[in-house]
């Protein structure tokens, strides 16, 4: 087992990464025997992993209840949060309870947001089961639900008490979900680490075949990169916004298509191409770097073209509702070379539209 630490002023926590670590003693730290907890998962994982995790929680002496939600991005809503809150109240969970998120980004967000508001805030533990949530969504304390007019528009910052990443859980993933997670992995390499990008070019097939040692390195690298950014900028005042590379365009696709129609990573993959093309049109990104990004996303099996039924102009209203918009000015994360990105505002709308058209 490998451990990283996210060291924050008010809420530091460990990230434990390994194979089969759900069976380790004291893995559910800070829970102790006799503590109360609520396991939150979805209907799909209830059949695949829940009993295993439930068994080890009970074995650790933890008094655990469960709530099972519907599966899918379209259910990341305030209505599903109401199900969690109602279950906590019905089972008489007090302020010293701990919520445990067993699932991907949707379950993590719903559980974390519920934890942040239940009785004005209780602990929660992340047990991410998808590649996307293991490398990205489970770390950093961003929790939210979607609104019809925009993705992740209702939420809070609420850091987990610990993150438990068992890479064996990835064996349960459908192929398209595994591929979707690769978008966030590639994102880290493009914006922060040229060496990691080259490593991905060499090892992409091994990652997709779930080679354990390669997967362990890959996940730990992403967690390490994200942890460092969160330590620098917990509440996204500056550097952390770089993690939204591709997301301004990608969230527009998700909202327009209807949540769940496109997997998050699929939409972000297209968003990264659009952002990279924007940067190339502005003269920041070299054509050869753009081609390498395009090629790696294709090799991962990710889409690189937006929905055929979505016009370039229809992206803009969604992009203008993005959380990075300041004083009515759109801000975009653009790569200037592989391994480095910057945040730009005041970009000519025609250049943005042309970049979108070139990626349709």
Catalytic positions are 120, 142, 184, 226, 236, 240, 244, 247, 251, 264
CB 87 within 8 A of CB 67: yes
Cα distances (angstroms) measured from residue 176 to each of 222, 269, 271, 297, 303: 20, 13, 18, 13, 11
Distances (CA, A) of 323 to 73, 142, 277, 319: 19, 13, 22, 9
Residue 332 near residue 343, CB atoms below 8 Å: yes
CA distance linking residue 130 with residue 148, whole number of Å: 25
Can you read off the two tokens belonging to residue 288? 């050869």
Tokens describing residue 342: 């910057």
Asked, as a colleague might, if the bond just before 243 is cis with ω within 30 of 0, I would say no
187 in Cβ contact with 341 (< 8 Å): no
Q: Which tokens go with 131?
A: 């590649």
Q: 219: how many CB neighbours lie within 10 A of its CB? A: 24
């Amino acid at each position: 087992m490998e451990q990283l630490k996210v060291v924050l002023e008010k809420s530091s926590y460990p990230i434990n990464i390994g194979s089969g670590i759900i069976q380790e003693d004291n893995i559910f730290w800070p829970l102790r025997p006799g503590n109360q907890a609520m396991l939150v998962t979805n209907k799909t994982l209830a059949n695949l992993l829940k009993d295993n995790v439930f068994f080890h929680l009970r074995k650790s002496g933890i008094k655990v209840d469960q709530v099972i939600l519907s599966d899918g991005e379209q259910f990341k809503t305030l209505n599903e949060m109401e199900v969690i809150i109602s279950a906590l109240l019905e089972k008489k969970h007090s302020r010293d309870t701990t919520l445990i998120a067993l699932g991907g980004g949707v379950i993590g967000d719903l559980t974390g947001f519920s934890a942040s508001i239940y009785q004005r805030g209780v602990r929660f533990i992340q047990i991410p089961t998808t590649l996307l949530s293991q490398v990205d969504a489970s770390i950093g304390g961003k929790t939210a639900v979607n609104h019809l007019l925009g993705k992740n528009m209702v939420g809070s910052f609420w850091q987990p008490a610990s993150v438990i990443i068992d890479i064996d859980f990835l064996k349960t993933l459908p192929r398209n979900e595994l591929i979707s997670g690769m978008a966030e992995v590639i994102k880290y390499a493009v914006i922060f680490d040229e060496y990691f990008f080259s490593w991905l070019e060499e090892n992409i097939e091994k990652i997709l075949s779930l080679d354990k040692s390669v997967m362990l390195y890959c996940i730990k690298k992403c967690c390490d990169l994200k942890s460092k950014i969160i330590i620098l900028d917990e509440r996204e005042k500056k550097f952390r916004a770089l993690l939204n590379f591709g997301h301004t365009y990608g969230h527009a696709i998700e909202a327009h298509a209807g949540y769940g129609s496109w997997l998050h990573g699929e939409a972000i993959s297209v968003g990264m191409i659009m952002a990279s093309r924007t940067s190339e049109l502005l003269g920041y990104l070299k054509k050869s770097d753009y081609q390498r990004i395009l090629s790696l996303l294709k090799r991962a099996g990710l889409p690189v073209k937006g929905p055929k039924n979505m016009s370039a102009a229809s992206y803009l209203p969604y992009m203008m509702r993005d959380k990075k918009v300041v004083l009515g000015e759109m801000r975009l994360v653009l790569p200037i070379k592989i391994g480095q990105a910057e945040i730009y505002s005041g970009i000519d709308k025609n250049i943005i539209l042309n970049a979108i058209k070139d990626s349709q």
